[in-house]
C-alpha cells in the first residue's frame, strides 16, 4: 500500500483503484497457501516442566508470499491458551514495534519454505505460583489446556493490509502433578534458577547451570529442562550480569547442538536451535546434516537464511 | 543525576509550566498549514514519575544529540491528556546485557528473549515507577549504513486482545526499551531527522506503557478519532520516512472536551487511564 500511495500523485485515480483491487485480489489468493501448525511434541507435561511450542508458518503454494514480521512479539502471530472451563490464561509478553522503510513489501516466504517461532509457554502464559517468577515468568498449574494460534497476514504496513487470519488446528495440552523422580529434578533446576536472584549466590549461577546441563547431556540428553536452561537460563545470566564469556559460549553452542540433535523432532530441539542463532549466530555451524528432515533442522534452515541477510528486506 | 527532574528543552532542571494550548505546526505538500491541539479543558495536570536510563555508551550523547526528546514527549502527553512525566535518572548508566562481552547486542524479541528483557528490567529499574531504557543495538536490526525496516522499541504488555487500553499493574511490565543506536543508524541511512524518529518511537512505546494503547493497524476500532491534516496517529505504523517528518507526534483525538467513556481514540483512552495508580 505504501508503494501505491507513493505513486498516487502521478497515477490517475481510476488506474490506481484498479491496481489496488488487483493487488488485493492477488494477495488474497497467495495468502490461501499459508498453513500454520502448532507443534508441542507431546500432549502431557508434569507441573513445572517447560512446555515447548513451535509455530510453523508454511507456504504450500507455488508463488512467493510476502508476510508481516513473524514472531509472537510482533503481534501478527498470536497464541491463546484457555483452560477447560474456557477461561483465558493471562499472557504477559514482549510487544515489539517494527517500523518499515517506505515501500517495504514484507518478509518473503518462497514456495515450500516456512517460518518458525518457538516459545516456552511459561515464558508468559500463566499465573503467579511456586515456579514464578524465578524459574519461569509465569506458573502453569495442573489442568487441561487448549492452545490456539493464528497469524494475521495484515501487515503493519505494505501491500497486505487487507489480509486475513490463518488459523492453526487447536492443540490440547495437559499438566499433571509431578511424580517422585520429576520432583527431585524440578527442585534441582529451581534451586539453580533461584541462585540468579540471590545476590550472595548470583556469581555461581552460570557455573551451576552449565555444570548441571553438562552432566545431564552425558546421562540423558532427552531431558526436558535442557533446551530451556540453554536458552532462557542463559538469557537470565545475561540479564543479571553473569553472562557467558567467549570460551563458555563455544561450550554452550556445542551443548545446544547436542540437545537439538537428540531432540530434533521435538519443539525443544527447535528451541535449542533458535537460542543458538539468537545468542551466538556466528558460532553456529553452517549446516548440520544430523538435523536434516526434522523440526529442528527446518528451523535451523530458516535461521541460517536470516543470518545471511540479517536486516529485514 | 539522582534527583527527580523536570524537563525543559535541551537540559534537565526545569520544565515549562505553560498551561496554554500547545501549538503544533504541520507542513504538508504544497505549503504549510497549522492547527491547534488544545490541552483538554478542565483537567488538572497529572504527573507520573518516569525513570529513564541509558547504556553507558550513550550517557554523554543522548541529551546533547536529542535535546528535545523528553520535552517533546511530554508535550504530546500533556497536549492530549494533561499527563506529564517527571523524568528522573537514578540509574542512568545501564550495564551491557552481557557484561562479559561488551559488544553483545540485544536479542531478537522472540523465542527466549522475553526472559532476558524482563529479567534485565527486574534487576535494573525501580519497579514502582514507569520506566524507559535507551539501549544500543538489537541483533536483527539493520547494520549501520542500511536503510531498512527496524524494531525501534518494545514494551512488555499483557495480551492486548483481552486487555486493550488498560494500564497493566504488574511490576515487570513497567518498562519500555528504545534501541537508540538503531534509531540513529537507520535515520542516518534513510536520510531523516533522527531526533524526530526517536521522539516518535519513544512516544509510541510510552503510549503502550502508560495507557495500554493499542497499535492502530491491529486495533483500528480504538483509533477512530481524527488527526490534523498531513499528520498520522503516532500509534500507527508508518514508514521511517514518516517518523522523521515531525518533532511533535500526535495521538488521534475527538476534540478538546474530555469524553471519559470514549474508547474510540487514543485521547479517550488516555483520559480513561489518567487516574491510574500503582
Domain ranges of chain B: 7-273
User: What residues in A contact B108, CB-CB < 8 Å?
Assistant: 71, 278
End-to-end CA distance of chain A: 16
Assigned domain for A36 exists: yes
Assigned domain for A57 exists: yes
- Residue B152 near residue B179 (C-beta atoms within 8 A): yes
Are A250 and A287 contained in the same domain? yes
Q: How close A176 comes to chain B (CA, Å)? A: 24
Per-residue pLDDT at A163 = 63
A99: domain CATH number is: 2.60.40.2970
Are A68 and A170 contained in the same domain? yes
Per-residue pLDDT at B213 = 95
CB contact under 8 A, A243 and B99: yes
Assigned domain for A313 exists: no
Are A193 and A161 contained in the same domain? no
Question: What pLDDT, in 10s, does the model give residues B66-108?
Answer: 999 999 999 999 999 999 999 998 767 899 888 888 788 999 9
Are A159 and A244 contained in the same domain? no
- Phi then psi for B85, rounded to 5 degrees? -105, 130
Q: How close B140 comes to chain A (CA, Å)? A: 6
- Residue B107 near residue B139 (C-beta atoms within 8 A): yes
Domain that holds residue A220: 180-308
**Residue A12, Cβ density class (10 Å: 0-12 exposed, 13-18 middle, ≥19 buried):** exposed
Are A125 and A257 contained in the same domain? no
Buried/exposed code over B37-53 (b: 16+ C-beta within 10 A; e: otherwise): bebbeeeeebebebbbb
CATH superfamily of B7-273: Collagenase (Catalytic Domain) (3.40.390.10)
CB contact under 8 A, A101 and B140: no
CA nearest neighbour of A30 among A158, A150, A160: A160
Query: How many domains does chain A contain in total?
Result: 2
Using alpha carbons only, what angle is made at residue A41 by residues B106 and A61, rounded to the nearest 5 degrees?
A: 80
Assigned domain for A154 exists: yes
With 60 as the cut, is the pLDDT of residue B199 above it?
yes
Please report the ipTM that was assigned to this predicted complex: 0.88
Q: How close B43 comes to chain A (CA, Å)? A: 31
Closest Cβ opposite residue B100 in set A239, A243, A274: A243
Closest Cβ opposite residue B149 in set A75, A104, A152: A104
Final residue belonging to a domain, choices A151, A176, A201: A176
Position B250 confidence tier, pLDDT thresholds 50, 70, 90: very high
Are A203 and A129 contained in the same domain? no
| Contact A123/B at CB under 8 A | yes
Are A53 and A120 contained in the same domain? yes
Residues of chain A with pLDDT under 50: 1-29, 157-160
Are A240 and A257 contained in the same domain? yes
A 38-77 residues with CB < 8 A to B: 69, 71-75
Final residue belonging to a domain, choices A156, A176, A196: A176
| Contact A1/B at CB under 8 A | no
Task: Write the DSSP symbol of residue A31.
Answer: H
| Contact B166/A at CB under 8 A | no
Parallel/antiparallel/unpaired status of strands B150-158 and B83-88: unpaired
Instruction: Return the minimum-mean-pLDDT range out of A201-210, B10-19, B41-50, B60-69.
Output: B10-19
Are A152 and A232 contained in the same domain? no
Closest Cβ opposite residue B161 in set A78, A133, A161: A78
* Residue A258 to residue A277: CA distance in whole angstroms: 14
Per-residue pLDDT at A9 = 33
Are A197 and A92 contained in the same domain? no
Final residue belonging to a domain, choices A132, A152, A176: A176
Are A62 and A117 contained in the same domain? yes
CA nearest neighbour of A165 among A152, A179, A147: A152
Question: What pLDDT, in 10s, does the model give residues B175-196?
Answer: 999 999 999 999 999 999 999 9
* Residue A49 to residue A156: CA distance in whole angstroms: 35
CB contact under 8 A, B157 and A156: no
CB contact under 8 A, A97 and B152: yes
Are A24 and A153 contained in the same domain? yes
Q: How far is CA A168 from CA A78, A108, B191, in A?
A: 10, 20, 41
Amino acid at each position: 500500500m505504501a508503494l501505491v500511495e507513493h505513486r498516487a500523485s502521478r497515477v490517475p485515480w481510476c488506474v490506481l483503484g484498479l491496481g489496488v483491487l488487483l493487488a488485493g485480489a492477488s494477495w488474497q489468493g497467495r495468502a490461501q497457501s499459508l498453513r500454520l501448525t502448532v507443534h508441542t511434541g507431546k500432549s502431557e507435561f508434569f507441573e513445572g516442566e517447560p512446555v515447548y511450542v513451535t509455530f510453523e508458518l508454511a507456504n504450500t503454494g507455488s508463488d512467493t508470499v510476502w508476510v508481516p514480521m513473524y514472531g509472537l512479539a510482533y503481534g501478527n502471530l498470536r497464541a491463546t491458551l484457555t483452560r477447560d472451563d474456557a477461561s483465558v490464561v493471562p499472557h504477559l509478553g514482549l510487544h515489539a514495534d517494527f517500523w518499515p522503510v517506505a515501500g517495504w513489501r514484507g518478509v518473503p516466504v518462497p514456495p515450500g519454505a516456512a517460518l518458525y517461532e518457538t516459545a516456552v509457554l511459561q515464558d508468559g502464559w500463566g499465573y503467579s505460583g511456586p515456579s514464578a517468577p524465578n524459574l519461569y515468568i509465569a506458573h502453569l498449574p495442573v489442568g487441561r489446556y487448549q492452545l490456539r494460534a493464528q497469524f494475521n497476514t495484515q501487515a503493519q504496513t505494505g501491500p497486505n493490509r487487507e489480509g486475513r487470519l490463518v488459523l492453526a488446528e487447536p492443540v490440547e495440552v495437559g499438566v499433571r502433578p509431578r511424580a517422585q523422580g520429576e520432583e527431585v529434578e524440578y527442585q534441582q533446576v529451581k534451586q539453580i534458577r533461584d541462585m540468579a536472584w540471590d545476590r550472595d549466590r548470583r556469581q555461581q549461577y552460570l557455573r551451576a547451570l552449565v555444570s548441571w546441563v553438562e552432566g545431564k547431556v552425558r546421562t540423558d540428553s532427552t531431558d526436558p529442562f535442557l533446551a530451556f536452561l540453554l536458552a532462557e537460563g542463559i538469557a537470565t545470566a545475561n540479564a543479571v550480569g553473569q553472562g557467558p564469556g567467549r570460551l563458555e559460549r563455544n561450550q554452550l553452542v556445542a551443548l545446544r547442538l547436542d540437545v537439538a540433535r537428540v531432540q530434533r523432532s521435538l519443539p525443544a530441539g527447535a528451541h535449542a536451535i533458535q537460542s543458538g542463532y539468537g545468542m551466538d549466530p556466528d558460532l553456529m555451524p553452517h549446516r548440520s546434516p544430523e538435523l536434516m528432515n526434522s523440526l529442528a533442522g527446518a528451523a535451523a534452515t530458516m535461521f541460517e537464511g536470516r543470518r545471511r541477510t540479517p536486516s529485514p528486506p | 543525576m539522582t534527583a527527580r527532574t523536570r524537563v525543559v528543552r535541551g537540559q534537565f532542571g526545569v520544565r515549562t509550566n505553560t498551561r496554554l494550548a500547545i501549538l503544533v505546526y504541520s507542513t504538508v505538500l504544497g505549503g504549510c498549514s497549522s492547527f491547534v491541539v488544545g490541552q483538554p479543558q478542565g483537567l488538572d495536570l497529572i504527573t507520573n514519575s518516569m525513570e529513564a536510563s541509558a547504556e553507558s555508551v550513550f550517557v554523554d550523547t543522548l541529551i546533547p544529540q536529542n535535546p528535545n526528546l523528553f520535552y517533546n514527549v511530554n508535550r504530546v502527553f500533556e497536549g492530549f491528556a494533561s499527563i506529564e512525566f517527571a523524568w528522573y535518572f537514578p540509574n542512568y548508566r545501564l550495564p551491557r546485557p552481557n557484561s562479559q562481552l561488551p559488544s553483545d547486542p540485544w536479542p531478537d524479541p522472540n523465542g527466549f528473549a522475553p526472559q532476558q528483557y524482563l529479567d534485565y528490567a527486574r534487576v535494573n529499574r525501580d519497579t514502582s515507577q514507569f520506566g524507559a531504557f535507551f539501549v544500543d543495538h538489537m541483533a536483527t536490526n539493520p547494520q549501520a549504513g542500511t536503510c531498512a525496516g527496524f524494531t525501534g522499541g518494545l514494551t512488555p504488555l499483557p495480551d492486548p486482545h483481552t486487555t486493550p487500553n488498560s494500564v497493566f499493574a504488574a511490576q515487570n511490565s513497567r518498562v519500555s526499551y528504545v534501541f537508540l543506536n538503531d534509531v540513529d543508524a537507520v535515520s542516518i541511512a534513510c536520510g531523516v531527522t533522527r531526533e524526530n524518529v526517536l521522539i516518535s518511537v519513544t512516544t509510541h512505546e510510552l503510549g503502550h506503557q502508560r495507557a495500554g494503547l493499542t497499535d492502530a493497524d491491529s486495533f483500528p476500532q480504538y483509533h477512530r478519532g481524527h488527526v490534523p491534516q498531513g499528520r498520522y496517529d503516532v500509534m500507527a505504523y508508518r514508514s521511517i520516512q514518516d517518523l522523521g517528518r515531525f518533532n511533535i507526534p500526535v495521538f488521534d483525538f475527538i476534540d478538546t472536551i474530555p469524553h471519559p467513556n470514549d474508547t474510540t481514540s487514543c485521547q479517550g483512552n488516555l483520559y480513561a487511564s489518567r487516574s491510574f495508580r500503582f
